[in-house]
Amino acid sequence: MPRADIKQRNMLGLLLVERGLISREQLDHALAEHKRTGEYLGSSLVRLGFLTIDQLLPVLAEQVGMPYVKLADVRISPQALAKVPPKFASHYRLIPLSFSEDLLQIAIADPFDIQTLDELRLILDCEIKPVLANPREIQEAIQRHYGLGASAVERMLDSGTRLETARVSATEDLTAKADEASVISFVNQLMLSAVRERATDIHIEPFDQVMRIRQRVDGVMYEIPIPPDLVKLHQAIVSRIKVMAQLDIAERRLPQDGRIKVRIEGQELDLRISVLPTTFGESVEVRILSSQMLFSLEQLGLDGERLDMLVRLIQKPHGIIFVTGPTGSGKTTTLYACLSKLNVPNVKILTIEDPIEYQISGITQLQVHPKIGFSFAAGLRSMLRHDPDIMMVGEVRDPETAEITIRSALTGHLVFSTLHTNDAAGGVTRLLDMSIEPYLVASSVLCFIAQRLVRVVCPACAEDRPAGPGLREEFGLTGDVPKTLRYGRGCPACKGTGYKGRTAIYEFLPLNERIQQLILQRASSHDIAHAAIQTGQMRTLRQDGWRKIQQGVTTPEEVLRVT
């Protein structure tokens, strides 16, 4: 908030007290804090938690006689955007709204900054009509309408730097580009924006004459608006990321993998970098891993019955628990939650992973290195010499790893691992396809767990809607279908998607005597799944999803999308 004179500050405080937004005691406290720090009164009130900025701004706008707008409700005209260059919008922290007959309406966050308004009148040669808006909404609108890094691109192109050619032969030139302040600024903006949007991945993809940047939020890819000229900086951006990840910036013919440790807004983040050579240049994928993504068993989305079953399974002294599902279905998160539950001083836990996604204190974690011959199978043999109680194998990919994993379980170890199969029963077929004998599978495996991640209905805009047709058939329902189900309307909190966050749906296949007999008979995965459902031992992914639909956690469309 801007610094106003004493009279204006008192007026603002009295107006807020009059409206019942703050108490007189809170105003006195904020005034004292304002005098101590020199910050604006409004800033003190918001920082002290006495009211939100969305409560403050309408009253502030009324006090100064300026309209207040919610930018989500405003349609921004192309003429206004064309009138104000990106570097002006970014520098002055404003967004143009409309322009007609030499009158430019702009949204600002500082109603008392007369100097900025005068400068704009002079620079743009038109009359300025300011309105007040939330500074966070202004920043989001600048990114949305001008594109991420538009001002940095404009400054770089204006500076006369030669960036027209996509190919640079000398290593020195690449390093110089990577070290330019605007490229560094853009990469920082890109990563900061991804973290704020709760993205798990950033994809930088070059094509013929264009570049696309996308990020994955709650499992769904969204394109980030960027200025078209950013394609001229593609190699500089890639080089900057390579420098951060300590990769070879001169090597563009081979894939490279690296990692970056960063701190963003108080979060310790581990960024996994993968660079692939493509027809039009190098494609970069940045995987964002945060320590905040380590969950407990209770946070996984399991209902009481399935949670109790999993707790009983992980307390077994030996055997294997396989978690199955495609890439990105949360398998590793589930395994880490199990290990965290078992991580006590009197138990030795060893893991072998590719890559190690999260560091867990108290657990010895090994990273495979196939180039030097340190594979899952080789690592497992060495791990057994360290007398572990519990082991985790990141993934069973080949017959040798599968055989050693199973024999480890048969010799008194509790083992966790993953398989890439579509359902729980498919895990049996996958092991038999690896030439593992049926009796070894039946005697060593405790349970196959399949899982998927579904988006959660946004709590800020959730509403009841009539249930769609066909639910009975799609979900195999026998009872009554609810007349209404919970959906997200779409709001600024969820970026209009109706979903915010994800949870898991599960399919447990414990190996009881009936299932073990079918495995020994080499029964198909269909027959195994049918028998487990008939005996009440297993609830399918879709059936578990239906329970979450009934609870208002997710929607039928979301469950059907992932199952």
Stretch (H or E) spanning 87: helix 86-92
The Cα-based distances of 336 to 293, 298, 332, 362 in angstroms read 10, 13, 6, 13
Q: If you average pLDDT over residues 352-378, what whole number do you get? A: 85
CA angle 89, 178, 158 (to 5 degrees): 40
Q: If you average pLDDT over residues 333-346, what whole number do you get? A: 91
Is the bond leading into 492 cis (omega within 30 degrees of zero)? Answer: no
Rounded Cα distance, 396 and 427, in Å: 11
390-393 β-sheet, strand order? 364-367, 349-353, 390-393, 414-419, 319-324, 445-457, 499-510
Rounded Cα distance, 97 and 133, in Å: 11
pLDDT at 156: 60
371 vs 202, more confident: 202
- CA nearest to 244, candidates 173, 165, 170, 191: 191
User: Is residue 470 a contact partner of residue 464, using CB atoms and an 8 Å limit?
Assistant: no
User: Is residue 312 a contact partner of residue 323, using CB atoms and an 8 Å limit?
Assistant: no
The band of 152, judged by pLDDT with boundaries at 50, 70 and 90, is low
* Both structure tokens of 127: 């009359």
302 phi/psi in degrees, rounded to 5: -80, 140
Terminal Cα distance for the chain, rounded: 49
User: Is residue 436 a contact partner of residue 341, using CB atoms and an 8 Å limit?
Assistant: no
pLDDT at 157: 55
* Half-sphere exposure (Cβ direction) of 75: Cα atoms closer than 13 Å: 1
Rounded Cα distance, 493 and 196, in Å: 12
Q: If you average pLDDT over residues 85-108, what whole number do you get? A: 85
- CA nearest to 452, candidates 281, 302, 325: 325
pLDDT at 164: 35
Mean pLDDT of the chain: 84
- CA nearest to 131, candidates 111, 114, 146: 111
How much of the chain, in percent, has pLDDT values that exceed 70? 92
User: Is residue 274 a contact partner of residue 205, using CB atoms and an 8 Å limit?
Assistant: no
Helix, strand, coil share of the chain (percent; to 5): 45, 25, 35
Strand 445-457 with 414-419, pairing: unpaired
Stretch (H or E) spanning 184: helix 181-196
pLDDT per position as a tens digit, 406-457: 989 998 899 999 999 999 999 999 999 999 999 999 999 999 999 999 999 9
Q: If you average pLDDT over residues 169-185, what whole number do you get? A: 46
Residue type, 107: A
Rounded Cα distance, 194 and 188, in Å: 10
pLDDT per position as a tens digit, 278-326: 999 999 999 988 766 778 888 888 888 889 999 999 999 999 999 999 8
- CA nearest to 119, candidates 87, 157, 158, 92: 92
* Both structure tokens of 99: 């322009």
pLDDT at 219: 87
The band of 165, judged by pLDDT with boundaries at 50, 70 and 90, is very low
Helix residue ranges per DSSP H, 260-370: 304-314, 331-342
514 phi/psi in degrees, rounded to 5: -65, -45
User: Is residue 478 a contact partner of residue 496, using CB atoms and an 8 Å limit?
Assistant: no
The band of 31, judged by pLDDT with boundaries at 50, 70 and 90, is confident
pLDDT at 158: 57
491 phi/psi in degrees, rounded to 5: -150, 175
Residues 6+ apart with CB under 8 A from 25: none
pLDDT at 26: 85
User: Is residue 239 a contact partner of residue 177, using CB atoms and an 8 Å limit?
Assistant: yes
pLDDT at 486: 92
Question: Does 4 score more than 60 pLDDT?
Answer: no
Question: Does 18 score more than 90 pLDDT?
Answer: no
* Half-sphere exposure (Cβ direction) of 295: Cα atoms closer than 13 Å: 16
What's the sign of the alpha-carbon dihedral 550, 553, 559, 563?
Answer: negative
- CA nearest to 501, candidates 308, 361, 292: 292
Instruction: Please return the burial class of 49, using the count of CB atoms within 10 Å of its CB with bins 0-12, 13-18 and 19+.
Output: exposed
Question: Does 170 score more than 70 pLDDT?
Answer: no
User: Is residue 187 a contact partner of residue 156, using CB atoms and an 8 Å limit?
Assistant: no
Rounded Cα distance, 431 and 132, in Å: 63
* Both structure tokens of 346: 């009197």
pLDDT per position as a tens digit, 514-561: 999 999 999 999 999 999 988 888 999 999 999 999 999 999 999 999
pLDDT at 212: 92
The band of 169, judged by pLDDT with boundaries at 50, 70 and 90, is very low
Rounded Cα distance, 159 and 113, in Å: 29
